[in-house]
With several copies, the nearest count.
Chain A
Amino acid sequence: MHFEPVVLFFMLGVFAGLVRSDLKIPASIYEALSIFLLLAIGLQGGVKLAEFSLLELVVPALLILAVGSLIPVLVFPVLRLLGRMTRADSASIAAHYGSVSVVTFSVGVALLIQEDIDFEGYMIVFLVLLEIPALVIGVMLARFGSGHVRWGKLVHEVFFGKSILLLAGGLVIGFIAGAEGIKPLDILFFDLFKGILALFLLEMGLVAAARIAGLRSYGLFLVSFAIITPLLSGILGTVLGWMLGLSVGGTMLLATLYASASYIAAPAAMRIAVPKANPALSIGAALGITFPFNIFLGIPIYFWMAQFIHSF
């Protein structure tokens, strides 16, 4: 099994949370860390994107988006019928699982770098793109029940919300400036990246602890859902990546993207757009179960799957 030491910080955070330590990452520091991560990921992607012809990417991009949009659509009836959840909750959870997690993706990238395995840098573009259909579909699914939707606010949130804006902004800056122009920023945005990811995971552990402690109240269905969904989405990503001719690294990252669930952009968007949904359920599943599952077991599994499918 491939082990990435950075997840030890997540475990420390969970431990601190479970023993009710007074350790707290101040909110403004958390904000700063997340601005940093989003910008850094975007810049890294932009620099690598410059090596590709954008035209070549159109077809794979559309395919990856289309298949990714299937996830919330497939997940919704499962939640509604099997899980007997309200329409609002089902829609909101579907949006969370259709959307993606920047930190999960970053842990995947860190593992690839550590194992010295190359990947298509433009995968980061999908970190930006996949968020959008997932949130829109989530709201559409919720809509029939709740009547009134703040579409304007939602569209604004989706396109100009800070996550997308920083990722996309970093992408564009990296693309324009190129590896040469970015060089004096390397030490901040590239060399420090993993250290800052470690601090971020510490905070993630702290907040996940509260969710993990509440697991019982979610019921067996939600717990199983939060483990099986990433696995199935990961398989979807692996197969698609392989069909698109991605490298092993790229295939693994696509699987990771599909398998990850959002706990930053989606919760904020859903709280406004689908007010009737209970945020404890969606965040609990995404952050309390799926996130730790992915960074400890999921990513190594997707890596193994990517290697396996490429051995054919």
Chain B
Amino acid sequence: MTAQPMTLLTIVSETVLEDILVDEIMSLGAKGYTITDARGKGTHGTRAGRWTQGGNIRIEVVGNAVLCGRIIERLQAAYEQDYGLLMFTTPVELQN
């Protein structure tokens, strides 16, 4: 059991962006990602997951701080203005 300090980046954004965001994340060098379907409310209004409003996805990426920083920067620049987007990071111990 060797625990490795890593960063967990959690991204909440619009379902419609799933393919695009996954492409961005992988092409920036992530080793993997985990997605769950979500709904929620923020500054862009309620996204209840009904079809005409669209729902949210919650993407988690475990990686080093540099990778997470790159992803954050890219998503902020490209999507924050026009789409619902929330990102936060937490330090985690990767157990592998």
Contact = CB atoms under 8 A, between A and B. Distances in A.
Interface of A: 27, 30, 153, 206-207, 210-211, 263-264, 267-268, 271-272, 275-276, 279-280, 283, 287
Contacts of B55: 27
B83 A27 contact: no
B51 A275 contact: no
B51 A276 contact: no
A272 B51 contact: no
Interface residues of B, number: 13
Given A268-B16, A271-B14, 12 more contacts: A27-B50, A27-B55, A153-B20, A207-B51, A210-B50, A210-B52, A211-B52, A267-B52, A271-B16, A272-B16, A275-B82, A287-B52
A27 B82 contact: no
Interface in B46-71: 49-55
Contact of B45 (A263, A272, A276, A280): A280
A263 B52 CA distance: 8
Contacts of B50: 27, 206-207, 210
Nearest to B14: A271
A279 to B, nearest CB: 8
A46 B69 CA distance: 53
12 contacts: A27-B51, A27-B55, A30-B51, A153-B20, A207-B53, A210-B50, A268-B16, A271-B14, A271-B16, A279-B54, A280-B45, A283-B52
A79 B20 CA distance: 30
Most A-side CB within 10 Å, residue of B16, B51, B53, B55:
B51
Contacts of B52: 207, 210-211, 263, 267, 283, 287
A211 B52 CA distance: 10
A57 to B, nearest CB: 33
A27 B16 contact: no
Given A275-B82, A276-B82, A27 B49 contact: yes
Contacts of B16: 268, 271-272
A188 B28 CA distance: 47
A291 B45 CA distance: 23
Contacts of A264: 51
A10 to B, nearest CB: 14
B26 to A, nearest CB: 16
Contacts of A207: 50-53
